[in-house]
Amino acid sequence: MLEFAIGTEMNPPAEAQRSETLAHAVESLKRSERPLTGREILRSIPPPSRVDAGTLEQLLAGDPRVIAWPPRTRSAPLRYWIHRPEDVADSVLMEAMAAAPLTAGDLQKKIGRHPAGFSADQRRGLVDARLAALIAAGKLFQHPPPGRGKPKYSSQPATAGAYVAKLQKEVDALAAKLAPAGITRAQILDALASEAPAPASQADDLPRRILEYLKAKPAGVGLGQLREELGLRAGENDALDKAAFDKAAFDQAVLRLYRERRVYLDRHDYPQGLDAAARDQLVSDGDGSYFVVIGLRDADAESVP
């Protein structure tokens, strides 16, 4: 019996050893500033927890925290990291646009070979996809060209000044035409500024209804319940109720309030473990985060405009 106990202690169960091996591997990937090959990961694992390369690859492939990256060359080994290629692309793109707006072509050059192992076509596809996702998430803005040219992208909204040159000429021409009638250019601009704003659209009113509903939920509420309440509860505006029930409109309203810091959102810890139908009930920012609970921030808990 004593021999058995000593043998068990010296040779821990395989599952326990694999768990320790994986823990060491994930920790080395967290500390790394780039994707690592299996051989590089093994060097960072203490000998008692070290396994053969094939076993390590199986452990890494079965862990949702580990992301497989393509090899640098066709003959090179597969690489692993805890960061997705999309995360790296987003970081490089946002940093590149911090100084000035850039075209998609400029950004393709900026990203260079950061996603090493990707072909030129794959890098172009990655940049195009991330630009679209960042715009959808409200983290990026596409600036139309003032004249001929290609649109540019920036982390800051465009300014109106770059687009009013033609309008200014039209106002000047109108002022010259109306001068004999005693109407000045300043009066024309005053008339434009005093025009009553267009009524708020149904989509614009949906965030207000969300804030009103949350006033009665100080502890927050599940996003699925909120969408169901707003979409199915009888209201004065049937069209608005339908807009609330439409998931795209509802998600946009929630994310708009989140970007405006009117509400807080709680992320789902492990959305990869959900099936597609369950994930569809959550709100996604288009950037890999899924949210399950919404609540008012302190400023809006007092009063809703």
Digit-coded pLDDT (tens) for 69-93: 888 887 888 899 988 888 888 888 8
Positive/negative CA dihedral, 78, 84, 88, 89: positive
Of 11-20, 42-51, 52-61, 106-115, the least confident: 11-20
Question: Which of the pair, 216 or 152, is modelled with greater confidence?
Answer: 152
- Torsion over CA of 60, 61, 67 and 72, rounded to 10 degrees? 90
- Determine how β-strand 152-154 pairs with β-strand 102-103: antiparallel
CA pair distance 223, 250, nearest whole angstrom: 10
- State how far the Cα of 270 lies from the Cα of 44, in Å rounded to an integer: 27
pLDDT of residue 1 exceeding 50, the answer is: no
Q: By three-state DSSP, how is residue 190 classified?
A: helix
294, 263 Cβ separation under 8 angstroms: yes
| pLDDT score of 190 | 81
How does DSSP classify residue 291? E
Beta strands in the chain (DSSP E): 36-37, 67-69, 79-81, 102-103, 141-143, 152-154, 221-222, 263-267, 283-284, 290-296
Is a pLDDT exceeding 60 seen at residue 130?
A: yes
Q: What b-and-e string marks burial along 109-120, b requiring 16 or more CB atoms within 10 Å of the CB? A: eebeebbbbbee
Helix axes 85-96, 104-111, angle to 10 degrees: 120
Q: What is the pLDDT at residue 6?
A: 37
In angstroms, the CA 257 to CA 296 distance is 10
Look at residue 10 in the predicted model and tell me its pLDDT. Answer: 45
Q: How far apart are CA 176 and CA 185, in angstroms?
A: 8
Q: How many residues are present in the chain? A: 305
Q: What's the pLDDT at 27?
A: 92
In eight-state DSSP terms, residue 160 is G
66: nearest Cα among 290, 266, 272: 272
Least confident of 49-53, 75-79, 137-141, 262-266: 137-141
Contacts of 209 (CB under 8 A, 6+ apart): 230, 240, 244
pLDDT tier for residue 29 given thresholds of 50, 70 and 90: very high
Q: Are 56 and 21 in contact (CB under 8 A)?
A: yes
The mean pLDDT of 118-129, rounded to a whole number, is: 85
Cα maximum dimension of the chain: 113
- As a whole number of angstroms, the distance between CA 218 and CA 292 comes to 16
- Percent pLDDT > 90 in the chain is 11
